[in-house]
Amino acid sequence: MHNANIKVKVTEAVQETPLVKRFKLVPLTGRLPWYSAGAHITTYLQKQDEFLERHYSLAGNPRDRDSYTIAVRLSQQSRGGSEFWHTQVKAGDELEISHPKNHLPVSFEARHHIFIAAGIGITPFMAMMAEMKAAGKSFELHYAAASEQYCPFYSFIQSHYGEQAHFYFSSESKRMPTMVMWNQPIGSHVYFCGPEAMITQFRQAAQSYGYPPSSIHFELFTPPNQGPCHPFEVELTGSNIVLQVPEDRSLLDVLLEKGIEAPYSCKIGGCGSCEVEVEEGEVDHRDFFLSEQEKKKRNAMITCVSRAKSNRVSIRL
């Protein structure tokens, strides 16, 4: 862990829904760093002999520097993180967190903001709505969930943003249509957060409705699933080191395990922090940071998710 991490204490651990727990984190000393709506933090937890490193959107009010709020959904495909938060973390526990980072900032150019969330994807929009309301900005929320019971922050949203909020519960056979983006004021921006399939559907729809790329914003929680992963070999041209990347590990994982200094942030292919220059070999691009044109023309690779199409690639590192 990094020396610049912030030490915090859990003061609240509340069952928000049957599958979502909400946690309040307060600093052990001083005040917390300011953050902009849409930001997330990385949390570090000790689980037996390993550290669990997980990213969570900040779901509180960005003006509150005395506490951070995160919400964790218990995942059936949990790799240990969400299960640990739900079963082991309690009020009084201490842990370390990173400084906030933001890969889903609110656009200052937008005349109207359309927030579209599914399930736990509501978390970054909690901070955005607080910021927009305080600034007197125009916004609306469209929020899909299984039911009212399984809808995180339902009561809070109803009481604070009732006029701007629209809910779509699958238990009532009410699906969220992409048409909520149609016939919106000129200058509107759309924001998506939720499962990959939902984001893909709404991104494509927004493009077909004429939204320019600069007006479409989104954030995923997990890397896109783009087929099987095959092992490959990587040469680091700056040091002549050759590494083997197995099918169940990313290139970034291998670099970090070998003690090689490699930049990174989101680990899901969305921010571009881990981009490296490719000198030789063909890349299997699996990120959603580079545009399709950049993937064709730039000799670049996002190490946290992308792989090699060939058996070997050479990167400048």
Residue 303 CB burial class (10 angstroms; 0-12, 13-18, ≥19): buried
Contacts of 311 (CB under 8 A, 6+ apart): 232, 233
pLDDT digits (tens, 9 = 90+) for 113-163: 999 999 999 999 999 999 999 999 999 999 999 999 999 999 999 999 999
pLDDT of residue 196: 83
Q: Which CATH superfamily is domain 6-97 in?
A: Translation factors (2.40.30.10)
Average pLDDT, the chain: 91
Q: Domain 112-219: which CATH class?
A: alpha beta
pLDDT digits (tens, 9 = 90+) for 73-127: 998 765 678 999 999 999 999 999 999 999 899 999 999 999 999 999 999 999 9
- Residue 53, strand partner residues: 44
232-316 to CATH, choices 1.10.3720.10, 3.10.20.30, 2.40.10.120, 3.40.50.300: 3.10.20.30
pLDDT of residue 183: 93
Mean per-residue pLDDT for 35-59? 89
Q: Where in the chain is the domain with CATH 3.40.50.80?
A: 112-219
- According to DSSP, the β-strands at 300-302 and 275-280 are antiparallel
pLDDT-derived band at 70, boundaries 50, 70, 90: very high
- The tokens describing 292, both together, are 């399709």
pLDDT of residue 67: 98
Q: Where in the chain is the domain with CATH 2.40.30.10?
A: 6-97
What is the torsional sign of CA 260, 262, 265, 266? negative
- According to DSSP, the β-strands at 165-169 and 139-145 are parallel
pLDDT-derived band at 1, boundaries 50, 70, 90: low
pLDDT of residue 61: 95
Give the predicted TM-score (pTM) of the model: 0.81
Q: Strand, coil or helix: what is 14?
A: strand
Q: Where in the chain is the domain with CATH 3.10.20.30?
A: 232-316
Query: Residue 183 and residue 93: Cα distance in Å, rounded?
Result: 49
pLDDT digits (tens, 9 = 90+) for 165-212: 999 999 999 999 999 999 999 999 999 999 888 998 999 999 999 999
- Residue 52, strand partner residues: 45
DSSP category for residue 187: T
pLDDT at 49 over 80: no
